[in-house]
Structure 1
Amino acid sequence: MERASFDQEPALEVCIDSVASAVAAEQGGAQRVELCDYLAGGGTTPSAGLIKVVRKSIGISLHVLIRPRRGDFLYTDAEFEVMKNDIEVCRELGADGVVIGVLNKDGSVDTARTQELIAHAGPLSITFHRAFDLTPDPLKALDALLQLNVHHLLTSGQQETALQGSGLIRELNERAAGKLIVMPGGGVNPSNVRKLVSETGVSEVHASVRKLVESSMNFRKAYPPMSSNRNLSEFEQLVADVSQVKAMREAFKREPS
């Protein structure tokens, strides 16, 4: 496959989690945004309110992440129902596409559930996200996505950064042969994007390109913290514990000593 060049400028998708970032992405010349919540945890589905206001605030293409929680991509029936309902909300609010990813216990693409989500999405564009990077056989996973007629694949080439995974990304891009757009993401920035495009031959890239913005608060209190600092792996969740809930209820009933 002929390598892409900057004579034919790649399309840029910017990952965002706020209205301000959406507007900045459009002002900077991005062709599309991927709207998420909780980027610190890899991203989850944003609220309906955020989707609605972002849609009103920008004229470029809007894709929305459909991910009911952080962590792995093996979902319960209840979580899958949430995903289907969130897709319907995205369609109603004017999103142009949704970003999904569902895996089986063995790490392979869950084709049945992916197909069901695609059906719920109707005319919306479909991106399969970096759940792909946790599959054991990337070429087999790509073939599954081609059979499902997915439009985009977001991947770091199963490495920490897309540049580190450029060899696999190039192979995926050549294997897709234009039937699916392979879009590198992960550590992509202005200093390495030219090299990444040259090495992979891709026509689109995905980046966060964020900067630190100070709060406008005058009164600042450092304690107590509003979030937990504990780091969880992709295969751990913090879930309400039935026994502890019951213990709390029992504690309410006891007379103070």
Structure 2
Amino acid sequence: MTLRHIEVCIDNIESLHLAQQGGATRIELCSSLALGGLTPNPGLMKLAARHATVPVYAMIRPRQGDFLFSEQDKEIMLADVYAAREAGLQGIVVGGLLPDSRIDAELLGALCREAQGMGVTFHRAIDQCLEPFAALDTIMSHNCERVLTSGLKANAYEGIPVLAEMVRYCGDRLAIMAGAGLHAGNVVEIVQQTGVQEVHLSGKSTRASLMQQYSQEAYMGSAEVDDFTIPVTDPDKIRAVVQALQTLDNHTPYSHTPHNQRRS
């Protein structure tokens, strides 16, 4: 049986339940998915740890924008790793770059040490690196479990050639997890052509507010954002990816570490 994970990124507790219903085998826990995913608050971390039946990895990203972090940004990131560990989560998702687009190895080392045995995923900061294979060497030297990447393209489908090369380059030393623009219609081709064993998606959807009466004169942010449309994971989109992948492995494609087991 082929080991394969379907990781779903979420930014609210409602979506945790929906992602698990759909068949997620791991959760990337964020806030602000519309910004590419930022660090979730400690309350969400604790509640996710309580209700998850699969491993949960917390995004550690203190702000939107690039991955060149200030010293104070780094202090925040270390404190957030501590919060994720204290909440009982299984891992963290991290990344940071130097001004010339190389991996910030000093920051990565500090974050891994603070994680104290939690699993570590390096995120799509690698897709902004000018020398991605040197970046992979740095990531592997810090014993990260995996890297999330679109193969340096806007989406994983366009990145198939580089993803395949990354899989060959890393072998068993580092899992390559394909993400960005992945869905039931392209996941089989991406997996078949690249050899990735892990995939990442959000299954984005929305639901209407359950408010019965409210004033429509004020806005909580931009007037272009509907405050009464709630972003949530669509379990049917996740389930469709699960079903698509079942065609590859005789209907038994998945295996995951028990949610209370941490990497030693």
Q: TM-score range by the shorter chain?
A: 0.7 to 0.9
How many Å apart are 1:220 and its aligned residue? 4.1
Query: Deviation of residue 222 (structure 1)?
Result: 3.7
What is the one-letter code of the residue matched to 2:158?
Q
Match for residue 115 of structure 1?
109
Residues 1:141 and 1:215: Cα distance change in structure 2 (over 3 Å): same
The 1:219–1:229 alpha-carbon spacing in structure 2 relative to 1, beyond 3 Å, is: closer
Task: Tell me: higher relative CO, structure 1 or 2? Use CA pairs within 8 A at least 6 residues apart.
Answer: 2
Equivalent residue of 1:99, what SS?
strand
Distance across 1 between alignment mates of 2:223 and 2:89? 33
Match of 1:181 in 2: 175
| Alignment of 1:21 onto 2:51 | no
- Residue in structure 2 matching 1:101, options 88, 95, 100: 95
Shift of 1:136: 0.8
Is residue 132 of structure 1 aligned with residue 153 of structure 2? Answer: no
Alignment match, 2:158: 164
Per the alignment, in what secondary structure is the counterpart of residue 212 of structure 1? strand
In the TM superposition, residue 10 of structure 1 has moved relative to its aligned partner by 2.4
* TM-score in terms of structure 1 length: 0.84
CA RMSD of aligned residues (A): 1.4
2:53 aligned counterpart, secondary structure: coil
**Structure 2: segments with no counterpart, 5+ residues:** 225-264
Q: How does 1:9-88 map to 2 (within 5 A)?
A: 10-88=4-82
Percent identical residues: 37
Deviations 1:49-99 (A, max 9, x none): 011111111121000000000001111111100000100010011010000
1:205 deviation in Å? Answer: 0.4
Q: Which runs of 5+ in 1 are unaligned?
A: 1-6, 231-257
After superposing on structure 2, the runs of 4+ consecutive aligned residues of structure 1 that deviate more than 3 Å are: 220-223
Shift of 1:9: 6.2
The equivalent of 1:196 in structure 2 is 190
Aligned to 1:146: 140
Pair 181,229 (structure 1): closer, same or farther in 2 beyond 3 Å: farther
Name the TM-score, length of structure 2 as normaliser.
0.82
Radius of gyration: which is bigger? 1
